[in-house]
């Protein structure tokens, strides 16, 4: 059996895991990213966390084949450089070369959303497909695209920014500077914003009591209100799914993947999200009359997708 290290570098936590050639995580280790601080310190902690995972697995570093890193931002996978990450404060950081000074193994680097998509492709909901798109509905909307079994990242390594496709030019301003991005409406953050706006317009909504009980408005609030029979909650859910369907239909029209998988905490809603979403997308896609259409599924790997995908970046490249 062969073993690989996958590192998921986030703005809050550094997570590392040892993954077998059968795509099973056999050990994990984590530490705080503790931003802001020098990139070199963060790389040292990535190596330390990875070596701790190797130790927990009962292995030695000699038994490891390669190291893969999934990182926020633009990752030059050809040269192992994080060219830019506003979240981490990195600019032209030669992370692969530095990692090799700590762990003398081949090291591969990729954008974190691409790495997570590759994880779903090799071991999750998109396994068995040839072309796949993975969309993560979190603080923002992350995207990963697999074409003919390979990660597509564009000529400048910044491809698959699906969240920054505009679906309403008159919509709210996005953090990227444009207005009405897919991310503004379909992220968990966007759902919370729309919930708050609806609550402000309806002081009688049951969502006010839910906010009081939970201490905050979350991405679950509108769905919980809908299940409780609240009209305003149902309207928020319908609005959210309509925007989500628009962005997904646009994505399918461009790439026509075998599978499009969606992940993130919002997807825990299951059928109340998925069934109306599929119905709307089926009505909107250009290929509605085709014999074969993209299958929309929920991602399977959860938070492990980034570790598994990162571990097998060598295979991807």
Domain positions in the chain are 3-122+304-316, 128-299
At the fourth CATH level, which superfamily is domain 128-299?
A: ATPase, nucleotide binding domain (3.30.420.40)
Selection from 145, 85, 42 nearest residue 50 by Cα? 42
Question: What's residue 139's pLDDT?
Answer: 87
| DSSP state letters, the chain | --EEEEEEE-SSEEEEEEEETTS-EEEEEEEE--SSS-HHHHHHHHHHHHHHHHHHTT--GGGEEEEEEEESSEEETTTTEEEEETTTTEEEE-HHHHHHHHS-S-EEEEEHHHHHHHHHHHHSTTTT-SSEEEEEESSSEEEEEEETTEE---TTS----GGGSBS-TTSPBPTTS-BSBHHHHHSHHHHHHHHHHHHHH-TT-THHHHHHHHSS--TTHHHHHHHTT-HHHHHHHHHHHHHHHHHHHHHHHHH--SEEEEESGGGGG-HHHHHHHHHHHHHHSTTTTSSS-PEEEE-SSGGGHHHHHHHTHHHH-
Question: What's residue 157's pLDDT?
Answer: 92
Question: What's residue 177's pLDDT?
Answer: 92
* In this structure, CATH architecture of domain 3-122+304-316: 2-Layer Sandwich (3.30)
CA distance 269 to 223: 8
Q: Return the number of other C-beta atoms located less than 10 Å from residue 35's C-beta.
A: 12
CA distance 111 to 109: 7
Which tokens is 270 given? 């299951």
Q: Do domains 3-122+304-316 and 128-299 have the same CATH topology?
A: yes
Asked if residues 233 and 221 have their Cβ atoms less than 8 Å apart, the reply is yes
Q: Which residues of the chain have pLDDT under 50?
A: none
Asked if residues 80 and 108 have their Cβ atoms less than 8 Å apart, the reply is yes
Cα angle, residue 310 at apex, residues 309 and 313 outer, rounded to 5°: 90
């Amino acid at each position: 059996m062969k073993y690989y290290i996958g590192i998921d570098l986030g703005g809050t936590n550094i997570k590392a895991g040892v993954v077998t050639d059968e795509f099973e995580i056999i050990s994990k280790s984590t530490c705080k990213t503790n931003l802001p601080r020098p990139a070199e310190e963060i790389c040292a902690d990535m190596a330390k966390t990875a070596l701790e995972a190797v130790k927990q697995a009962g292995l030695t570093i000699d038994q490891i084949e390669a190291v893969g890193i999934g990182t926020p931002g633009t990752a030059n996978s050809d040269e192992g450089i994080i060219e830019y990450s506003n979240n981490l404060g990195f600019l032209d950081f030669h992370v692969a070369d530095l990692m090799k000074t700590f762990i003398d193994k081949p090291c591969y680097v990729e954008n974190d959303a691409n790495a997570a998509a590759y994880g779903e492709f090799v071991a999750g909901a998109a396994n068995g497909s040839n072309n796949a798109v993975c969309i993560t509905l979190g603080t923002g909307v992350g995207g990963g695209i697999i074409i003919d079994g390979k990660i597509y990242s564009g000529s400048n390594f910044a491809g698959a920014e699906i969240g920054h496709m505009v679906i309403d030019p008159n919509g709210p301003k996005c953090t990227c500077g444009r207005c009405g991005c897919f991310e503004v409406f379909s992220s968990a953050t966007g759902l919370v914003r729309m919930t708050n706006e609806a609550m402000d317009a309806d002081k009688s909504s049951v969502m006010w009591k839910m906010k009081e009980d939970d201490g905050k408005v979350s991405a679950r609030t509108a769905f919980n209100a809908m299940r409780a029979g609240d009209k305003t909650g149902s309207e928020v859910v319908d609005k959210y799914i309509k925007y989500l369907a628009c962005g997904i239909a646009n994505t399918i029209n461009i790439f026509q993947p075998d599978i499009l998988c969606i992940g993130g905490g919002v997807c825990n809603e299951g059928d109340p999200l998925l069934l109306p979403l599929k119905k709307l997308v089926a009505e909107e896609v250009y290929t509605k009359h085709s014999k074969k259409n993209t299958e929309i599924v929920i991602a399977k790997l959860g938070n492990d997708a980034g570790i598994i995908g990162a571990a097998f970046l060598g295979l991807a490249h």
